[in-house]
């Protein structure tokens, strides 16, 4: 230190990269380094000995001033930051600045120092931080821009979600109308062409809804709003739904679909059956889509089993086009498809597998694929599911005597054969499996010789040389009745096709592939003579839910859209429920206060008062605490259900209305009323004159069999509704018994158009009742008549009239014997002109039905015809009947008027 003289130190300070000023106690500048000279453009001579605050007047009373005083008085140092020093030293920076100002951004440090005598001086050091400030300014601007961009993106995303929710609502409202109206239209009497059109509208609308649902699901997944339910379910029900949805498509392509569930797999589970079904349906649909010929096997194995939980391994295997490794890699990505070229053969949104993947992951599993091009693909996924109970045994034979019963299986498809064999073995039967009809006969004869005959034979319909039907006929021919095994026909084709082909082949039971284990088990028991409710399962699924206990319940339907009102009302009324309509939430609240309802179906978005507010209002009154309120909404976005439950609603069903779900939900929430419990405040019901309708009871006695008619098919056509089917049979019998004569008469008069119309109508009705042959003969006749010629009538007429004769005599027998009490009291009808009093009730009912456009009018016309047979007015009644039959209700009403005038009623 001693070697350093003052000039050396001053030189060092001159070359340092910080500005340095030293002030004495009076604020006079005693040192001003080179850096300061450059930055202030003031030479030392101009400043030395002068007060800092006369040099820079603006610094008086600034932070810098205070800091200098602080240092001089108490020795405390101060660091003055750029941002918090509004009045810095007026310095020039060396570099040009973007903003044009040459001011230097600075950081100032002010400290106290002492000389040898102990006198305090103030040392000021200034750093040029202009570059740093510019850089950070830039950085902040960028950050601000990024922030803005992020906000725009977030807003856009929110807008997208809102848009989807809105569009979902907007799309679902008309979809509900299309699907609902098509559903209702299909229940009316349509001719086969109309039925074909409407059912195609129906299925296309459902397909479109599927796509919309996929898009919604995907957006929910993106938003992390997809939820998995946890409810008890039966695995077989899920498989049943899968079978129902894919069987038809598979059949069209001639593919064999088999289900195989390992013996150890428990059936009573807890999880999300809809989502599980969604995955399986998606995979199975893909399998059908990408397979031209061969098999599709859906199998379920048990991976792990704990007391309350199981891990299941699901497999969907096809023999289709398969996937390359590269395609497999892209498979589970959104919007990606194996073949994304514009010439691709297979359509689709490409969202299905992405959704599956996410759903599987949410169910605690993984999904993967094994595949080779042109060899087929196998999609695997696992799932963790809770068990409802620990019972293992799914199918218990009713008695020990059936254990080990010998059973024969004949199927030429090895995969299907093996699965059938395993399933039957899981019921504890002793199974022999063969690959053809010939082998089956051989085995049956061998077993009979060995005095160990088969009790049941399962025959595939389509087998090489000797198909199932021929095999069955052969078995019937060869075996005496006593030793005849029960014959069960298994087919991938629709029942009616087989039933037609297998007429008189002596088949006991039909099973449709893919065979559902529960259905098979029940069929087997029924074949063995055990009483089961087999019919319930072999029927096409109708409403899927027995509404018996809640029939007659009063429902308040709150809905602003008129079409949707109609759809919901007719669906509910068809099930025997009384419907009252409120157009908005306010009306709903008023209605609830004025009447007694068993349940409220509540739309959410409505004018005047929305569904949420209405529900809250209703719930705020303690007397409605238990009134079931079910939200019915086109908003199928996540969170809807939660919102509904939050305002006190009981459940949420989404539009378009899926009738089974709606009915099931109503069933769940409406308390069945005790019989005879009169409604304290009866409602005006929208059902027209219900007391005039024929008794609608589910116990309507239907014939066990009708010649030429497949009752199961017929019942299936009317959604399993027995009363309706009864009505149709009645209609056909009373209105068309003399169809051959009517057509003949029209032809005799040369009125081809009338003849054609008669044949056309009759054909439709024959189809509806399930009289396949009758329908076909009528169809041929119709086609001929349409071309306005009678060429070939000689060939067509006899089979037609024979078939009419066959079916009508069957019906005659049925109506005569089975329900004489319900048919009009034929014997008491006077042959002479009945009195006005006698005619009055019939005609007033008839007027009402004609006004309503109800084809039940035909029943009453038939009754009137009976009463007035032999009277001249009879011809007019027949004319009216024709009009009603053609749904020309206006014309029919006109004729009716003439008749009443004539009869003076």
Partner 1 sequence: MHGERKKMFRLSELEEDALKEFFNMGLGMAADSLSQMVQNEVLLTLPKLKVVPYEEATHMLMESQEEKLVAVRQNFKGELTGTALLIFPGNESLELVRTLLHEDIPLEVLTELEQETLLDVGNVILNAFLESFTQMMSVEFEFESAEFLKGSSRFLLDISSHLAAQKQSLMEGVNEDDERAFVLMMDFKTSDEEDTQHTLSGFVVLLFSQQAMYILKRELEVILSNL
Pick between residue 77 and residue 682 the one whose CB is nearest to partner 1. Answer: 77
Q: Does 84 bind partner 1 (CB under 8 A)?
A: yes
Q: Shortest Cβ distance from residue 84 to partner 1 (Å)?
A: 5
Q: Shortest Cβ distance from residue 3 to partner 1 (Å)?
A: 21
Q: Which residues contact 454 (CB under 8 A, 6 or more apart)?
A: 406, 407, 408, 432, 443, 444, 447, 485
- Taking the C-alpha atoms of residue 213 and residue 700, their distance in angstroms, rounded to an integer, is 40
Pick between residue 122 and residue 550 the one whose CB is nearest to partner 1. Answer: 122
Give the strand pairing for 554-558 and 78-80. Answer: unpaired
Q: Shortest Cβ distance from residue 77 to partner 1 (Å)?
A: 5
Binding to partner 1 by CB under 8 A, coded x per residue (else -) over 538-557, reads: --------------------
Which tokens sit at 70? 């602080």
Q: Shortest Cβ distance from residue 138 to partner 1 (Å)?
A: 11
Residue 288: CB atoms within 10 A of its CB come to: 22
Q: At what angle do helices 722-736 and 874-885 cross, to 10 degrees?
A: 130
Q: Does 75 bind partner 1 (CB under 8 A)?
A: yes
Contact 662, 196 (CB under 8 A): no
Total interface residues for partner 1 by CB under 8 A: 28
Q: Does 79 bind partner 1 (CB under 8 A)?
A: yes
Q: Does 705 bind partner 1 (CB under 8 A)?
A: no
Which tokens sit at 224? 């992390």
Which tokens sit at 543? 């409403």
In the set 48, 138, 143, 248, which binds partner 1 (CB under 8 A)?
143
Binding to partner 1 by CB under 8 A, coded x per residue (else -) over 22-61, reads: ----------------------------------------
In the set 16, 54, 81, 333, which binds partner 1 (CB under 8 A)?
81
- Residue identified by tokens 């238990």 is 626
> Which span sits near partner 1 by CB under 8 A: 16-24, 43-51, 132-140, 362-370?
132-140
* Among 608, 609, 596, 612, CA closest to 652: 612
In the set 112, 184, 201, 501, which binds partner 1 (CB under 8 A)?
112
- Residue identified by tokens 């209605």 is 591
Which H helix or E strand runs over 274?
helix 273-289
- Taking the C-alpha atoms of residue 805 and residue 740, their distance in angstroms, rounded to an integer, is 9
Q: Shortest Cβ distance from residue 76 to partner 1 (Å)?
A: 5
In the set 115, 132, 391, 705, which binds partner 1 (CB under 8 A)?
132
In the set 7, 15, 83, 400, which binds partner 1 (CB under 8 A)?
83
Q: Shortest Cβ distance from residue 150 to partner 1 (Å)?
A: 10
Q: Shortest Cβ distance from residue 152 to partner 1 (Å)?
A: 16
In the set 111, 313, 422, 780, which binds partner 1 (CB under 8 A)?
111
In the set 107, 226, 235, 475, which binds partner 1 (CB under 8 A)?
107
Q: Does 133 bind partner 1 (CB under 8 A)?
A: yes
> Which span sits near partner 1 by CB under 8 A: 142-150, 226-234, 629-637, 696-704?
142-150
Q: Does 780 bind partner 1 (CB under 8 A)?
A: no
Strand partners, 305: 310
Q: Does 124 bind partner 1 (CB under 8 A)?
A: no
Q: In the sheet that 120-128 helps form, which strands lie side by side, from edge to edge?
A: 29-32, 19-23, 120-128, 106-114, 78-80
Residue 664: CB atoms within 10 A of its CB come to: 16
- Taking the C-alpha atoms of residue 853 and residue 674, their distance in angstroms, rounded to an integer, is 34
Pick between residue 98 and residue 482 the one whose CB is nearest to partner 1. Answer: 98
Q: Does 234 bind partner 1 (CB under 8 A)?
A: no
Q: Does 63 bind partner 1 (CB under 8 A)?
A: yes
* Among 37, 44, 81, CA closest to 63: 81
- Taking the C-alpha atoms of residue 32 and residue 296, their distance in angstroms, rounded to an integer, is 94
Q: Does 129 bind partner 1 (CB under 8 A)?
A: yes
Q: Does 156 bind partner 1 (CB under 8 A)?
A: no
Q: Shortest Cβ distance from residue 71 to partner 1 (Å)?
A: 9
Q: Shortest Cβ distance from residue 8 to partner 1 (Å)?
A: 23
> Which span sits near partner 1 by CB under 8 A: 134-142, 466-474, 744-752, 849-857?
134-142
Phi then psi dihedrals of residue 80, to 5 deg: -105, 115
Q: Shortest Cβ distance from residue 33 to partner 1 (Å)?
A: 18
Within 415-474, the residues that bind partner 1 by CB under 8 A are none
Give the length of the chain: 905
- Taking the C-alpha atoms of residue 283 and residue 369, their distance in angstroms, rounded to an integer, is 11
With H, G, I as helix, E, B as strand and everything else as coil, classify residue 605: coil
Contact 510, 686 (CB under 8 A): no
Pick between residue 66 and residue 392 the one whose CB is nearest to partner 1. Answer: 66
Q: Does 144 bind partner 1 (CB under 8 A)?
A: yes
Q: Shortest Cβ distance from residue 81 to partner 1 (Å)?
A: 4
In the set 34, 65, 82, 696, which binds partner 1 (CB under 8 A)?
82
- Residue identified by tokens 């090489």 is 464
DSSP secondary structure letter of residue 28: B
> Which span sits near partner 1 by CB under 8 A: 69-77, 317-325, 411-419, 493-501?
69-77
In the set 8, 12, 48, 76, which binds partner 1 (CB under 8 A)?
76
* Among 186, 850, 203, CA closest to 571: 186
Give the strand pairing for 120-128 and 106-114. Answer: antiparallel
In the set 43, 49, 77, 750, which binds partner 1 (CB under 8 A)?
77
In the set 109, 328, 349, 801, which binds partner 1 (CB under 8 A)?
109
Is the N-terminal amide bond of 807 cis, ω within 30° of 0? no
> Three-class SS string for 671-714?
CCCCCCCCCCCCCCCCCCCHHHCCCCCCCCCCCCCECCECHHHH
Pick between residue 125 and residue 421 the one whose CB is nearest to partner 1. Answer: 125
Q: Does 390 bind partner 1 (CB under 8 A)?
A: no
Q: Does 147 bind partner 1 (CB under 8 A)?
A: yes
Q: Does 140 bind partner 1 (CB under 8 A)?
A: yes
> Which span sits near partner 1 by CB under 8 A: 103-111, 189-197, 448-456, 672-680?
103-111
> Which span sits near partner 1 by CB under 8 A: 12-20, 82-90, 203-211, 430-438?
82-90
In the set 78, 661, 686, 790, which binds partner 1 (CB under 8 A)?
78
Q: Shortest Cβ distance from residue 589 to partner 1 (Å)?
A: 40
**Alpha helices, DSSP H only, in 575-683?**
585-594, 611-620, 640-646, 659-669
Strand partners, 407: 431, 456
Q: Which residues contact 116 (CB under 8 A, 6 or more apart)?
A: none
Pick between residue 107 and residue 198 the one whose CB is nearest to partner 1. Answer: 107
Contact 762, 700 (CB under 8 A): no
Q: Shortest Cβ distance from residue 64 to partner 1 (Å)?
A: 12
| Burial (0-12, 13-18, 19+ Cβ within 10 Å), 142 | exposed
Give the strand pairing for 367-372 and 376-387. Answer: antiparallel
Strand partners, 271: 231
- Taking the C-alpha atoms of residue 581 and residue 557, their distance in angstroms, rounded to an integer, is 5
Q: Shortest Cβ distance from residue 587 to partner 1 (Å)?
A: 44
DSSP secondary structure letter of residue 516: P
> Which span sits near partner 1 by CB under 8 A: 137-145, 227-235, 483-491, 572-580?
137-145
In the set 80, 509, 629, 774, which binds partner 1 (CB under 8 A)?
80
State the residues that interact with partner 1 by CB under 8 A: 63, 66, 70, 74-85, 107, 109, 111-112, 129, 132-133, 136, 139-140, 143-144, 147
């Amino acid at each position: 230190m001693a070697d350093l003289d003052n000039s050396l130190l001053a030189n060092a300070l001159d070359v340092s990269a910080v500005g340095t000023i030293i002030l004495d106690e009076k604020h006079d500048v005693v040192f001003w380094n080179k850096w300061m000279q450059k930055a202030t453009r003031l030479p030392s001579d101009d400043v030395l000995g002068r007060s800092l605050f006369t040099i820079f007047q603006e610094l008086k009373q600034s932070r810098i001033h205070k800091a200098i005083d602080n240092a001089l008085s108490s020795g405390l140092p101060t660091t003055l930051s750029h941002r918090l020093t509004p009045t810095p030293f007026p310095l020039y920076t060396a570099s040009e600045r973007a903003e044009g100002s040459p001011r230097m951004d600075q950081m100032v440090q002010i400290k106290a120092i002492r000389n040898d005598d102990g006198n305090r001086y103030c040392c000021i050091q200034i750093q040029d931080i202009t570059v740093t400030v510019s850089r950070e300014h830039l950085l902040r601007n960028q950050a601000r821009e990024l922030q803005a961009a992020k906000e725009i993106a977030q807003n856009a995303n929110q807008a997208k979600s809102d848009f989807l929710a809105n569009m979902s609502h907007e799309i679902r409202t008309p979809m509900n109308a299309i699907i609902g109206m098509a559903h209702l239209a299909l229940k009316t009497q349509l001719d086969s062409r109309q039925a074909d059109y409407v059912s195609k509208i129906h299925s296309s609308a459902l397909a479109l809804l599927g796509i919309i649902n996929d898009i919604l699901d995907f957006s929910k997944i993106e938003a992390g709003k997809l939820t998995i339910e946890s409810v008890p379910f039966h695995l077989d029900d899920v498989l049943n739904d899968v079978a129902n949805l894919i069987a038809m498509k598979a059949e069209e392509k001639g593919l064999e679909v088999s289900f195989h569930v390992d013996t150890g797999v428990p059936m009573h589970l807890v999880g999300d059956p809809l989502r599980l079904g969604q995955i399986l349906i998606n995979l199975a649909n893909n399998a059908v889509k990408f397979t031209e010929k061969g098999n599709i096997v859906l199998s379920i194995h048990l991976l792990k089993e704990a007391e309350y939980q199981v891990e299941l391994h699901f497999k969907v295997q096809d023999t289709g086009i398969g996937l390359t490794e590269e395609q497999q890699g892209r498979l589970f990505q959104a919007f990606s498809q194996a073949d994304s070229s514009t010439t691709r053969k297979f359509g689709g949104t490409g969202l299905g597998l992405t959704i599956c993947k996410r759903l599987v992951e949410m169910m605690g599993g993984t999904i993967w694929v094994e595949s080779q091009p042109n060899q087929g693909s196998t999609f695997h996924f696992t799932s963790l599911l809770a068990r409802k109970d620990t019972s293992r045994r799914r199918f218990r034979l009713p008695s020990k005597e059936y254990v080990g019963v010998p059973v024969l299986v004949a199927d030429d498809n090895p995969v299907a054969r093996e699965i059938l064999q395993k399933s039957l073995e899981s019921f504890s039967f002793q199974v022999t499996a063969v690959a053809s009809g010939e082998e089956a006969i051989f085995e049956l004869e061998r077993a009979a010789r060995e005095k160990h005959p088969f009790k049941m034979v399962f025959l595939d319909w389509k087998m090489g040389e000797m198909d199932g039907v021929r095999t069955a006929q052969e078995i019937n021919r060869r075996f005496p009745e006593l030793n005849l095994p029960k014959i069960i026909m298994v087919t991938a084709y629709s029942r009616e096709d087989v039933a037609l082909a297998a007429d008189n082949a002596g088949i006991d039971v039909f099973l449709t592939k893919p065979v559902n284990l529960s259905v098979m088990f029940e069929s087997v028991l029924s074949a063995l003579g055990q009483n089961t409710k087999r019919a319930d399962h072999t029927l096409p699924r109708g409403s899927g839910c027995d509404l018996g206990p809640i029939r007659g319940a009063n429902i308040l339907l709150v809905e602003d859209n008129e079409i949707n009102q109609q759809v919901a009302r007719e669906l509910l009324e068809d099930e025997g429920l009384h419907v009252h309509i409120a157009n908005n939430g306010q009306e709903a609240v008023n209605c609830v206060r004025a009447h007694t309802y068993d349940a409220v179906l509540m739309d959410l978005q409505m004018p005047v008062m929305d569904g949420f507010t209405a529900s809250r209002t209703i719930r705020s009154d303690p007397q409605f605490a238990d009134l079931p309120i079910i939200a019915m909404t086109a908003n199928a976005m996540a969170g809807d259900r939660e919102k509904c439950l939050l305002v006190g609603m009981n459940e949420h069903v989404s539009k378009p209305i899926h009738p089974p779900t709606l009915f099931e939900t109503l069933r769940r929430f409406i308390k069945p009323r005790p019989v005879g419990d009169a409604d304290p405040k009866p409602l005006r019901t929208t059902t027209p004159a219900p007391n005039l309708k024929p008794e609608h009871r589910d116990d309507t006695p239907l014939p066990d069999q009708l010649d030429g008619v497949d009752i199961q098919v017929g019942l299936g056509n009317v959604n399993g509704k027995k009363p309706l089917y009864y009505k149709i049979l009645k209609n056909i019998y009373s209105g068309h018994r003399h169809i051959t004569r009517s057509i003949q008469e029209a032809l005799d008069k040369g009125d081809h158009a009338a003849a054609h119309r008669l044949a056309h109508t009759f054909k439709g009705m024959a189809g509806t009742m399930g009289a396949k042959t009758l329908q076909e003969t009528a169809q041929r006749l119709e086609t001929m008549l349409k071309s306005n010629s009678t060429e070939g009538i000689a060939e067509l007429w006899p089979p037609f009239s024979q078939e009419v004769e066959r079916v009508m005599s069957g019906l005659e027998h049925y109506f005569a014997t089975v329900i004489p009490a319900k048919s009009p009291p034929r014997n008491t009808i006077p042959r002479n002109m009945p009195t006005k009093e006698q005619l009055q009730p019939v005609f007033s009912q008839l007027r009402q039905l004609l006004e309503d456009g109800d084809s039940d009018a035909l029943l009453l016309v038939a009754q009137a015809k009976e009463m007035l047979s032999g009277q001249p007015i009879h011809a007019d009644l027949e004319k009216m009947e024709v009009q009603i039959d053609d749904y020309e209700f206006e014309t029919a009403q006109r004729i009716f008027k003439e008749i009443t005038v004539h009869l003076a009623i």
